[in-house]
Structure 1
Amino acid sequence: MSDASQATTQTKRSFVQSLELDMRLMGMIGAFILIAVAFNFITGGNFLSPRNIFNLTIQTVSVAIMATGMVFVIVTRHIDLSVGAVLAICSAIMAMTQARWLPGLGIDLGSPLIAPIAILIGLAVGTLIGAFNGWLIGYQGIPAFIVTLGGFLIWRYAGWYLTQGQTIAPLNETFILFGGSEGTLGEALSWVVGILAAIAAVYGVWAARQSRIRHEFPTKPLWAEFSLAGIAVVAILGFVATLNAYSIPKGKLRRMFEARGEVMPDGFTQGHGLPISVLILILVAVVMTIVARKTRLGRYIFATGGNPDAAELSGINTRLLTVKVFAIMGFLCALSAVVAQARLQSHANDIGTLDELRVIAAAVIGGTALSGGAGTIYGAILGALIMQSLTSGMGMVGVDSPLQNIVVGAVLVFAVWIDIQYRKRTGIK
């Protein structure tokens, strides 16, 4: 190798080392960009249109929320095959609460009490089911595969009997806002949220640098810090601008003005902005990341996944920890039921079908190790986005549903193989 080529290689290495990039994350981002660009070319620019990005975003939320919980489950060397069924039973209970039970008690469907009561009941049921699964696994010693496989069969059909196989609609108007398709922030408030998020991203980079300095750890060069902060700001504000560019249909705008007793001005347009469901996902991501990185519970989860025997010998109550992890998973399934049901504006018997496979695939594609002990929240969300992008893109180009599942399955196997090779090369276990 010549001196010039050696110098070029060293420059590239020093650049990457200066940024301290997570190469697995960079690989996932690169894969997502490749998928998006390829489908955008094939569809003549429709894939990256504001309308499709908006739809892709709200379609990803439900699976992404559950994928964040699946990270904790897999990290602790368990699996949950019942997430789609738990979503279904929680959806059935919330729909029946809104459309049947509370109206039967004299509370009108349009009452502002309907949505909070239904959501609280759904979240409580999901959490209890998750905790019950964790108790069977942690305290009774039944393998998680068997417990959740049983739940996969039990809870969906319990929901079917609860609704007598019927599609339950209509739902409370306030509840529907959580689905994203009807509930958005609008342009102005979306910009406010986007700017605040950009400021938070810059502050996060600065705070991380100050923490390293205080603890006398090596820091990145200032240009590297500014580069990462700049990329984050551009990504956040670009995302907001794209969603604001998707205009609300004229007919819907006209009805909105009429509901206020006003007449829509000629030529008036308004963008959708950030969906409320996306804000829920962002909040879940932030909370779950804090739990994983900053709390005792998070440290116990990763310690147990890395070496269960050593964790137990060090005084960690691994059985109670299992109950907590599955309770969190159940809570997130119920929250996903809120988003999925509100987006569909009804409860259907097939809601959440195959979501267990999509959720596991999202976590694994996002870098969660099936051997336990390693995984990230942002990786799982990105994995869910990649999965939904593949499904959405193939649907837009007319690929049959069976072939879509074949491709997704192949991508899952390929992602696991890539992860294994990466761990072998880097020495990560």
Structure 2
Amino acid sequence: MTTADQAKTQDSGAGAGKSAFSRLELDMRLMGMVGAFVLIALTFNFFTDGRFITPRNVFNLTVQTISVAIMATGMVFVIVTRHIDLSVGAILAISSAIGAMVQARWLPQVVGLDYGNPMIAPLAVLACLAVGTLIGAFNGWLVGYQGIPAFIVTLGGLLVWRYVGWYVTDGQTIAPLDQNYRILGGADGTLGVTLSWVVGALASAGAVWAIWNARQSRKRHQFPTKPLWAEFTLAGLAIAVIMGYVATLNAYDMPTGKLRRIFEARGEVLPEGFTQGYGLPISVIVLAVVAIAMTVLAKKTRLGKYIFATGGNPDAAELSGINTKLLTVKVFALMGFLCGLSAVIASARLQSHANDIGTLDELRVIAAAVIGGTALSGGIGTIHGAILGALIMQSLQSGMAMVGVDAPLQNIVVGSVLVLAVWIDIQYRKRLGIRA
């Protein structure tokens, strides 16, 4: 039998006795999360008289989700290895404090760099990343080599690092931040309409390539493949979601006052009736790069395989030769790096460093990872699930704020949703015979 004949047999055999929907082989847990998100959006859209699903709110929801979503991708690895990190909000705060002091105080006053110098923003970003990575590695060393439970180490870090940041800034709000630094936050840094369409087209092409590459890989290993119509359907859905998202953000026009300031900065006059869409925020591109990198790390690298092997059975992993102590340092250092990156995104969005930045983010990050399907018992978790979990969390909070729900009740709802999500996940894994 030729390879082509084998492929045809695989295609036909894979679909025998299955319904059209089942042939798509969708992750039903992921589909349940998508359904929950759609239900949340439609519900809040109804109670806000159509204000929830608008280009403006989708844009705001996007930029508000980024920093938590970035940290949630790292929390997946931490929880997969059967640890927890309660200090992520505090690490974000100290990283933001150092980054803000670098650009607003130390470089201008000590080094003598003028405000707006192109070197200030890169140095501030590097400072945030370095501080976060070092603190994360220190946490990992205490957990891995000193044997202190991660809960205790990071609980102490939750109290320590935020107030170290408070002393660094003398308890002051640090502003204004560098104008080049602020483009990483959202509204001050977008791609514009044309470039957003280009990025959307490239992302769509990438999604199609990934689907096709996965199909070819299954054929090479003589695994059953989906029918071609199913592959085309999935590709079409991916393109529709990506381009629909880009179209929504492109439809959000900049305020006239902001456009006028932009034209005045160029020495021009705003033409009568001129409009311009925001397009994709640069922070979305940052999240996309992080998501791709973390997914590749999880699925295609030795480190990723070691992380999931250790989470599945730490004793067996150690007996097989994996240095679980060093692995713990690497996982927490990566978590710290992502906290530093989130500090850049969060402070750039707020255009200042405030002492309460990142407050309760540790709970939001853990909730996003768990809602996204990361098992607290270790060994199971996905990057895309954590990002979707972060989006669901932010949608709940934003929607309740728009409806006028009091802050205490918002926290009650979010806490209840977290417990409910874990219960649903446990029941789902029991049905599939997976260790919970």
TM-score, length of structure 1 as denominator length: 0.97
Structure 1 residue 12: Cα displacement:
10
Give SS of 1:15's match.
coil
Match of 1:206, as an amino acid?
W
Match of 1:403, as an amino acid?
L
Pick from 241, 247, 260: which aligns with 1:241? 247
**C-alpha distance in structure 1 between counterparts of 2:245 and 2:152, whole Å:** 42
The equivalent of 1:28 in structure 2 is 33
Match of 2:327, as an amino acid?
L
8 Å contact 1:109–1:171 — kept in the other structure? no
Pick from 386, 397, 403: which aligns with 1:397? 403
Q: Which digits, 9 at most, give the CA deviation of each residue in 1:361-419, with x for residues without a partner?
A: 00000000000000000000000000000000000000000000000000000000000
Structure 1 residue 71: Cα displacement:
0.1
**2:96 matched to 1:91?**
yes
**C-alpha distance in structure 2 between counterparts of 1:165 and 1:248, whole Å:** 34
The equivalent of 1:254 in structure 2 is 260
Structure 1 residue 15: Cα displacement:
2.5
**2:116 matched to 1:110?**
yes
8 Å contact 1:243–1:272 — kept in the other structure? yes
The equivalent of 1:50 in structure 2 is 55
**2:346 matched to 1:335?**
no
**2:178 matched to 1:172?**
yes
Q: Which digits, 9 at most, give the CA deviation of each residue in 1:149-192, with x for residues without a partner?
A: 01001000000011011000011000000001210000000000
**C-alpha distance in structure 1 between counterparts of 2:187 and 2:90, whole Å:** 24
Structure 1 residue 13: Cα displacement:
5.2
Give SS of 2:238's match.
helix
**C-alpha distance in structure 1 between counterparts of 2:245 and 2:219, whole Å:** 32
For the aligned residue pairs, the C-alpha RMSD in angstroms reads 1.1
Structure 1 residue 255: Cα displacement:
1.1
Give SS of 2:247's match.
helix
Give SS of 1:14's match.
coil
Structure 1 residue 11: Cα displacement:
10
Match of 2:361, as an amino acid?
D
The equivalent of 1:5 in structure 2 is none
**C-alpha distance in structure 1 between counterparts of 2:209 and 2:124, whole Å:** 37
Structure 1 residue 295: Cα displacement:
0.4
The equivalent of 2:413 in structure 1 is 407
Give SS of 1:148's match.
helix
The equivalent of 1:122 in structure 2 is 128
Q: Number of matched residues? A: 420
**2:289 matched to 1:279?**
no
Pick from 40, 57, 66: which aligns with 1:61? 66
Structure 1 residue 14: Cα displacement:
2.5
8 Å contact 1:134–1:326 — kept in the other structure? yes
Pick from 97, 101, 105: which aligns with 2:106? 101
Pick from 296, 315, 323: which aligns with 2:302? 296
Give SS of 2:20's match.
helix
The equivalent of 2:7 in structure 1 is none
The equivalent of 1:364 in structure 2 is 370
Match of 2:100, as an amino acid?
A
Mean alpha-carbon deviation: is it higher for 13-22 or for 335-344? 13-22
Give SS of 2:65's match.
helix
Structure 1 residue 261: Cα displacement:
1.3
Structure 1 residue 108: Cα displacement:
1.0
The equivalent of 2:326 in structure 1 is 320
**C-alpha distance in structure 2 between counterparts of 1:94 and 1:291, whole Å:** 27
Pick from 225, 234, 237: which aligns with 1:231? 237
**C-alpha distance in structure 2 between counterparts of 1:115 and 1:418, whole Å:** 44
The equivalent of 1:140 in structure 2 is 146
Match of 1:321, as an amino acid?
L
Structure 1 residue 258: Cα displacement:
1.2
Q: Which digits, 9 at most, give the CA deviation of each residue in 1:14-43, with x for residues without a partner?
A: 223311111110000000000000000111
Segments of 5+ residues of structure 2 without an aligned counterpart are 1-14
Pick from 169, 175, 178: which aligns with 1:163? 169
**C-alpha distance in structure 2 between counterparts of 1:40 and 1:283, whole Å:** 30
Match of 2:263, as an amino acid?
F
